[in-house]
Amino acid sequence: MKRQAIDVLLIEDDDVDAEIVKRALGKSQSSFRVCRVTTLAQALATAESQHVDVILTDLTLPDSGCSETPAKIRQSQPLVPLIILTGLASRELAEELLEAGAQDYVVKDALSSDCLERSIRHAIQRQHNCIRIRELLDELEVKQELLETNNRKLTRLYSQAHEFVDNVSHEFRTPLTVIKEYTSLMREGLVGSVSDEQSRLLSVVEDRADDLNIMVDDMLDNSKLEAGMLCAWRKECSVAEIIDRVRNVLQRKADVRQVSLQWDVSEPTTRVYCDAEKAGRVITNLAINAIKFCGSNGAVQIAVNAEATEQEVWIRISDNGPGIDETALAEICQRFTQVSTHDSEETKGFGLGLNIAQQLVQLNFGELSIQSQPTVGSTFSFSIPMSNPFEIVKRYLNQIDLLQRADTDSDVVSMIACSVDEAADPASMSDVDRFLNCRLRRNDILLRSQSNRWVLALPLAEDQLEDYFSRLQSERLTANRNRPHGPLPNVNFESLGSWRVVAQRSQILDCVVTEFSSDRAVAIMASESVGGAFPAALQTSMAEGI
């Protein structure tokens, strides 16, 4: 198959050089149609009036200088491949020509048929590639603009959806409360006697109102988690305080659904560090799932065990339900994933509970564990750290390290001491504790080292602390304007140091030991946490007879 002839526009004012080029093209295997002109003006006019596949030009022309010729041709004919014919050969010249828009250059003294043909074909191919790249870039730019427009639209719709869910959830609160209270009044016979069957039915109504209330809590928590606004009020409390929050509600649900609920709480006085309300939410979500899925005449056990070696408490919710297969188990904590084990409408829901439970556990520096076997049952377990400042800060640093790796932020944590006058009354100190806790952000923690002293850890660099102190003092003054029983005591802030989470981890932990070394029990627990070896600061304190 014969190749189509290539139209060459040759710009050469020297007759001998022009003849050499024509003869070289004539000897090549490809077919060329050569149109020769002697000036740049003639060349530009010819390129406008007829088809040209490639332009070959001398640099020095009667009406154009060396530095001007390539730029003028490229300006007039940006899509036509350009090859420069030159008597010089140097890297600097080559770079200048390519920068000016030429695809290639050929040295006249080394001109041959093969060299010229190859240069022309490569120049045409390069130019075609450049044109295609420009077309693709233009298409990409259009698609990117469309994508950005769609993203803005989706972001707006996503925000509107969240706002709608938040508004609806808040609006549900009042009618749900009324339904629950009125149902309870009727069930207890306070507005007239009811039969046993009526009482049972009213208990079911109250139970389903509780379900709706939990769904509302889940939707609100989900919105806050998405926005990074769900904070935790972590402080020391007992295991019994957490269990007491949820025992009655769960027992009533189990009774209504005819499920046996057993409690195995060892060492209820064990002190833990967490947001008790959120720990209770986790128990509620996991236990309600267990009660639903095990069905009538099923059995659910809630067991609490303290593990002194790991300085944590594990709460386990077990059921004898249908269990979960391996595929579903891998997806179970994904948001909006509802694992189906049978067709009962009772078990259907938003699928938010397990994902939120997982995030609330992480908020309390714990872990969530799931074990299940089809036809046998499931056990959902989560941990809560004991009230050991050394262990709590270790877990906090682990979490901050993971967050900062994901966000590529600076890996710095600052420790701050907050104190009030020892003469302040206990009620005022409790108010200061509440004030400080209410100012915590998601990734801050507050530990109370003495009745009038707190240690605050937050992911801020040292040069950001002054602004942080000023903001807290300003907010304290604002809070004082709304206090009916007098102002909050003055809070003194002292920087204990700023360290890198990974490289200076031991210095952060030494700071914790120093702050809490007046408590012998904390010293003992700290020694256990590092495998029996006391940190240097702690050894000094022990030697002084703490």
Kindly report, residue by residue over 254-313, the tens digit of the pLDDT.
988 899 999 998 878 899 999 998 899 899 989 988 998 887 889 999 999 999 889 999
Which sign, positive or negative, has the C-alpha torsion 271, 277, 278, 281? Answer: positive
Of the ranges 68-77, 195-204, 362-371, 524-533, which one carries the lowest mean pLDDT score?
524-533
Distance (Å, rounded) from C-alpha 539 to C-alpha 386?
22
pLDDT at 338: 47
Residue 356 CA to chain centroid, in angstroms?
A: 15
- Residue 207's pLDDT band (cuts 50, 70, 90): confident
Average pLDDT over residues 47-61: 89
Over range 444-460, report the average pLDDT. Answer: 91
Whether the CB-CB separation of 264 and 225 falls below 8 Å is answered with no
Q: What pLDDT was estimated at residue 374?
A: 87
pTM confidence score:
0.60
pLDDT above 90: residue 240: yes
65 pLDDT higher than 50: yes
CA-CA distances (angstroms) from residue 421 to 432, 475, 491? 11, 19, 8
**Mean local confidence (pLDDT), 169-196:** 80
The pLDDT of residue 228 is: 55
Q: Is the pLDDT of residue 242 over 90?
A: yes
Contact 102, 82 (CB under 8 A): yes
Average pLDDT over residues 144-153: 88
Other C-beta atoms within 10 Å of 250: how many?
A: 24
Q: Are strands 299-307 and 368-373 parallel, antiparallel or unpaired?
A: unpaired
Say how far apart CA 462 and CA 439 lie, in whole Å. 19
Spatial CB neighbours of 396, under 8 Å, sequence gap ≥ 6: 365, 445, 457
Average the pLDDT over 13-37 and give the result: 89
The per-residue pLDDT for 381 is: 94
Looking at per-residue confidence, does 518 or 91 come out higher?
Answer: 91
- pLDDT at position 169 is 64
pLDDT band (50, 70, 90) for residue 427: confident
Which H or E run contains 55?
strand 54-58
How large is the average pLDDT for residues 405-416?
Answer: 73
SS (H, E, C) 237-282: EEHHHHHHHHHHHHHHHHHHCCCEEEEEECCCCCEEEECHHHHHHH
- Digit-coded pLDDT (tens) for 264-273: 988 788 999 9
Identify the three-state secondary structure at position 531.
coil
Average pLDDT, the chain: 81
- Burial per residue of 209-227, b for 16 or more beta-carbon CB atoms within 10 angstroms, e otherwise: bbeebbbbbbbbbbbbbee
Mean local confidence (pLDDT), 537-541 = 38
Residue 230: pLDDT band (50, 70, 90) is low
312-319 β-sheet, strand order? 260-265, 299-307, 312-319, 377-385, 368-373
Q: Which of 282, 275, 283 is nearest to 231 (CA)?
A: 275
Cα R_g (the chain), whole angstroms: 39
Predicted pLDDT at 539: 38
Please state the separation of Cα 368 from the chain's center in Å: 19
> What are the pLDDT digits (tens) for 96-113?
777 777 888 888 877 888
Percent of the chain at pLDDT > 70 equals 83
Written as one letter, the residue type at 205 is V
Residue of 442 and 465 predicted with greater confidence:
465
CB 393 within 8 A of CB 446: no
pLDDT for 181? 82
Query: What CA–CA distance (Å, rounded) separates 16 from 84?
Result: 17
Percent of the chain with pLDDT strictly greater than 90: 25
Write out pLDDT tens, residues 355-403: 778 888 988 999 998 888 888 899 999 999 999 999 999 999 988 887 7
Amino acid 528: pLDDT: 41
460-491: per-residue pLDDT in tens?
888 899 888 888 888 888 888 877 778 888 88
How far, in Å, CA of 357 to CA of 544, rounded?
45
Q: What is the pLDDT of residue 213?
A: 74
Helix or strand run (H / E) with residue 506: helix 505-516
Question: What region does 304 belong to: left with phi over 0, alpha with psi -120 to 50, or beta?
Answer: beta
Distance CA 255, CA 262 (A): 12
Residue 263 token pair:
């409690």
